[in-house]
Chains A and B, each alone.
Chain A
Amino acid sequence: MQPIKNIKDIPEFDLLTGGSSVCAGCGPSMGLKLALKVLGPKTIIINSAGCMTLLPLFPNTPLKVSWIHNAIENAATTAAGARHGLDALGIKDMNVVVYAGDGATYDIGFASLSATAIKNERVIYICYNNQAYGNTGFQCTTATPYGSDTKTTPRGKENPIGNTTIHKDMLKLMGVHRVYCATASLAYPVDFLNKINKAKERDGFSYIELLGTCATGWNFDPRYTIKISRLAVRCGMWPLYEIDDRKLSLNKEFKELKPVDEYLQLQGRYKQLPPDGVIKLQSLVNEHWAELNEFNEKRYV
């Protein structure tokens, strides 16, 4: 498939219909809809337990492609098994895609993800990162950013910051496996789909991480889903870059980042974050952005 140049080139078919039970304005659901436009009908999706498990609820399914639902630990190894099964049958033109959340990727399923990546199986792993366990009521994961209010790290008198840990740098971790890895945002669908296209053409493992804006958990009006995705990139909270064979390249470069305050103000989970928390978050963002700019077009990991 040719690279997509602008929004008008995006194919006009939907392999994910409406009527599913996910929340209104669901970011991960939009991400799956867009991804299937490039992947096409010859796709097997492997899902580990999470929000997107709500899509096919018996007796209704919004999906027009194959779907395997598995336990939260082993989505990546199920995908490797599916690929080996297809190879044994002599089927070459199927895409095996994992669509798993950040809890299943960063925490519980990391062992199987690492094993599949190091063996370089021909699998596309898409992680929809909504920065908490969204399906069970927004508990903290290792992807939750500093200062976020979650069910297990509530903001209170004793702990005004909320989540005090700094999230895991997953792209760096996946980069050391010498696979293709990239970040994506819903506000830049052409960039996201070109990354999936690139992953589809490769004969090996690829890891794409999508910022799955979650209106229910992040506590904002669902109409701002795209606005928040765009601000996350513009404020440096979610920089768009890719690591190919340990070399980093920034996809969206800005002369100056917007202050993170603009991104935080729209979301209820950062409401009442004290000023020193905002300053710490800004310094973390600046540090990461400086690091990415320093290693741009160079060996990163």
Chain B
Amino acid sequence: MREEELSYKGIHGIPVILEPGNAARVDRSSWRLVRPVYNKDKCTMCKICYTYCPDSAIAWTKEGPVINLTSCKGCMICVEECPTNAMTQEKESS
């Protein structure tokens, strides 16, 4: 993220972050070697992947989990813990 895009300002010379949770926009995709892929057919909506994601990269919607590949660091906990193999791993292309 470039400095102009950041939302903070100085109050009496002390910089203050104005937006709570602004780290969600930081790109961590370069950290991972493999990425998780979601297959809807095998999913039983057990919410295990959503509960165990340490980086909140999986959001829960009515249709099931949605993976945010900006935050995902590729720890593969969701792939290992999924009881029905609805989460599989894929190598990053570049």
- Residues of A whose CB lies within 8 Å of any CB of B are 7-8, 10, 12, 14-20, 22-27, 29-30, 33-34, 56, 58-65, 186, 189, 215, 221-227
Residues of A within 8 A of B46 (CB): 7-8
A sample of 13 cross-chain residue pairs with beta-carbon separation below 8 angstroms, ordered by A number, consists of A17-B21, A17-B24, A17-B56, A18-B56, A18-B70, A19-B27, A25-B54, A26-B54, A29-B54, A64-B20, A225-B75, A225-B77, A226-B80
Contact A29 B51 (CB under 8 A): no
Count of chain B residues with a beta carbon within 8 Å of a chain A beta carbon: 41
User: Secondary structure at chain B's binding surface: helix, strand, loop or mixed?
Assistant: loop
B38 is an interface residue with CB less than 8 A from chain A: no
Chain B window 55-93, contacts with chain A (Cβ cutoff 8 Å), 1 for yes, 0 for no: 111011000000010111111110111000000000000
**What's the nearest-Cβ distance from chain B to residue A44, in Å?**
14
Contact B6 A24 (CB under 8 A): no
> Which residue of A has the minimal Cβ distance to B81?
A226
Q: Indicate whether A189 sits within 8 Å of B51 (C-beta atoms), given known contacts A17-B21, A59-B17, A225-B77.
A: yes
Residues of A within 8 A of B32 (CB): 24
Chain B window 3-43, contacts with chain A (Cβ cutoff 8 Å), 1 for yes, 0 for no: 00010100000010100111111111001100000000000
Residues of B within 8 A of A215 (CB): 75
Contact B55 A18 (CB under 8 A): yes
Contact A222 B75 (CB under 8 A): yes
